[in-house]
Amino acid sequence: MNASDTSNDYGLHDEPVGSGNHEVRQGECVSSIADATGHFWEKLWNLSANRELREIRKDPNALLPGDLIEVPEIEPGEHAGATEKRHRFRRKGVPSVLKLQVLRLGEPVADKPFTLDVDGHLIRGSTDAQGRIEESIPPGARAAKLVVDNDGEDIRYDIEIGTLDPIDTTTGIKARLRNLGFDPGPIDRADRPEYRAALAAFQERWELEKTGNPDQKTRDKLKELSK
């Protein structure tokens, strides 16, 4: 089975979508594009010109390189100044909040202290009862380093922010599988046996029907665990 067959059979969208004057680059999301162009992310996301992108991708924090988004010119007096940018950093907007779950052998690393370095900005806290971390980050953040103290054993992650492809793409599914400890092989669009084996192992772990297919229930669980 090739990549296009997988996309057609399970409702994936491996090809770029949308229309507009800005082509999404790797690592960009609606928040980072808005921050770079002086807009508020909600305004860009909700433009009528971006309806197709919004309806297909659904998540403004996960776009595929090559997707097109309309970014209008800033009208006189509309440009977001430094004060507004600081306000947007603090607000609870979807794309400016980093959410992740720390797992060890498939089990949550619960109630453990962590240090998160986001582009040089240090954040300290503790994972919750499900091993989750949720922290506000600057819209343009690109990388983070996470260290979790698991009873004297440091668990370390190098995190690339904004590089996760949408959940309805093969690359997005593979990346989430890898982040959760299930090796799908190379992060590309190819439908390899190791990708299907990783899907099956994930389904078995979370008591889903073990088909090895990227069906909707499997994608929903991957998305839930990757929030």
Write out the DSSP string of 164-182: PPPTTSHHHHHHHHHHTT-
pLDDT tens for 206-221 read 999 999 999 999 999 9
Determine the 3-state secondary structure of 216 from DSSP. Answer: helix
**Lowest mean pLDDT segment, chosen from 36-45, 54-63, 153-162, 182-191:** 153-162
Of 160, 147, 167, nearest in space to 215 by CA: 167
In terms of C-beta distances under 8 Å and separation of at least 24 residues, what long-range contacts does 174-177 make, across chains too?
A: 174/198, 176/222, 176/223, 176/225, 176/226, 177/202, 177/222
Quote the mean pLDDT of the chain.
84
> In the structure encoding, which two tokens stand for residue 169, read together?
């793409």
Which amino acid appears at position 99 of this protein? Answer: K
Contacts of 181 by beta carbon, 8 Å cutoff, 6+ apart = 103, 105, 106
Q: Given pLDDT bands bounded at 50, 70 and 90, which one contains residue 76?
A: low
Q: Which residue has the higher pLDDT, 44 or 35?
A: 44
pLDDT tens for 77-125 read 554 443 333 322 332 344 467 888 888 877 889 999 999 999 888 999 9
Of 13, 19, 113, nearest in space to 64 by CA: 13
Domains of the chain with bracketed CATH: 15-90 (no CATH), 96-160 (2.60.40.180), 170-225 (no CATH)
Determine the 3-state secondary structure of 38 from DSSP. Answer: coil
Q: Tell me, what's the pLDDT at 93?
A: 44
Whole-angstrom Cα Rg for the chain: 18
**Contact indicator for 97, 134 with CB cutoff of 8 Å:** yes
Model confidence at 26: pLDDT above 90: no
In terms of C-beta distances under 8 Å and separation of at least 24 residues, what long-range contacts does 51-57 make, across chains too?
A: 52/17, 52/18, 52/19, 53/17, 53/18, 53/19, 53/20, 56/13, 56/17, 56/18, 56/168, 57/13, 57/17, 57/18, 57/166, 57/168
122-154-135 Cα angle (round to 5): 35
Of 218, 190, 192, nearest in space to 204 by CA: 218
**Strand 22-23 to strand 68-69: parallel, antiparallel, or no bridges (unpaired)?**
antiparallel
**Contact indicator for 37, 74 with CB cutoff of 8 Å:** yes
Model confidence at 141: pLDDT above 90: no
